[in-house]
Structure 1
Amino acid sequence: MKAVWSGFLLSVQFLTVIPIRKQIDWNDATARWSVRTFPLVGALIGVIEAVTYFMFSSFSSLSPLFLALSLMWLSIWIAGGLHADGWMDVSDAFFSYRDVKRRQEIMSDSRVGAFAVLSILFLLSFRFLFMFETICSDFDIFLIAVIPVLSRTAMAWLLIYGKRAKQTGMAAAFREHADRYDAHVAMIIGSCLLACLCAAHFSVLKTVIFLACGTIFAVFVARLFFEKQFGGITGDTLGAFVEGVETWLWCMIWLLRSYVMV
């Protein structure tokens, strides 16, 4: 049980800005449980986002414009900008149109290029659009918590099943300890969390299934893309995946609300 708790705290420290004032030993057990509890961290983020949105929307007269903007920036802030940084690094590397080795070097460069800025503006602009129009359509608040659970569960799967691009870095450090069994545990935990959300509010079941299918599709596309363009998975590509898939899931919800009305 101590390893489980330590692994979860390690994930919270690594994936969020939530202050955990505790030194966690890095070893085989904590690293493996850290990967397994990625979905729990997603659930924690989702609950914080959903509760914040509920408080703002229920006890104030704030406009949908403000609600969408604050919800979007909360998702960026609570992750400490970690995934947004990955998106920007990957964008700089991809649009350099260099070979794989050079792209890996560009991702490791701390400097921010023009393509990174343009790319993050493009990503967040469309996410804001999807969120704003969805909020205006009176959507189900439970879906706010679903998105981070799906993205972090998928990140655990991609981390383990994706080819390593290099032998150093965050992704490589986790891969030294975790294996496919840990990815399966993470998927089981994520599925149980989604099942609990659906049980608490059965009306979102069809939408959650649709979003889960969209996430699976995104994982396979991302794996092929990262392995072709960057030689495999790195910490930056995982961060880029989280940002990209969350925007994709908001797009799917927007499409459902706009054209299917579920």
Structure 2
Amino acid sequence: MKLLLLAGTGEAQEVAKALAEKGIPAVASLAGATRAPKPMGLPTRVGGFGGDEGFARYLEAEGITAVLDATHPYAHRISNRSAEICRDKSVDYCQILRPEWVPGPGDRWTEVQREEDVAALVPEGAVVFLATGRQTLERFGNMGHAELICRQIDPPDRPFPFVNGRFLVGRPPFSVEEERELFQRLGVDWLVVKNAGGAAAMSKLVAARQLGVRVAMIVRPPQPEALKVASVAEALAWVDGL
């Protein structure tokens, strides 16, 4: 067996460490969105595969017999493509998909389908904290009536695309106390997030709840029809059963 780990999440880091400790032949793949990613503990490739045909060629050339997809829930194009090609090539495939966040008492969430839908929710002059990453920042171009603050891991390599916004650099994880202090200092009225799930990234939602900050929650895109597990332990059990 030789396994390809599609990485980019905390779960991928945990899986990679366990695979290395078990001595399972595996290679990790990162999309390259972060400039200085944490070492995976496995042989690691960075960058795309060159589309569907490139991914299929890679599986064959490297003798990949199983793919464990531990990408972000919003990397749905990668997941759907990978699941389909693995099915066509008779390569075992499994996706680690965290349970979604659900609102609790005190939460002030409004679900939206797309980033572009947030503008209709936000009043004139509101301070909006975008915790959605720089990859989709251009989709907020219709929010000229608000102040935008976009947090990203790496220092920006270009100016903010809109005159009404700025970047804020920060590397997770962040505690609830850190997020609450930050939101208070910035005067945040609205928090925009993707429903990524997971305990580590939930601190900003707890801070928003405590401060009464409104949340625009971007719902998840469609996921592949394929085998799914919800935890690292389940994923490793799947690998052990191959």
TM-score tier after normalising by the smaller chain length: under 0.3
Q: Normalising by structure 2, report the TM-score.
A: 0.26
The structure with the largest alpha-carbon Rg is: 2
The structure whose residues are more often helix, as a share, is 1
The structure whose residues are more often strand, as a share, is 2
Query: With CA pairs under 8 Å and 6+ residues apart, which has the higher RCO, 1 or 2?
Result: 1
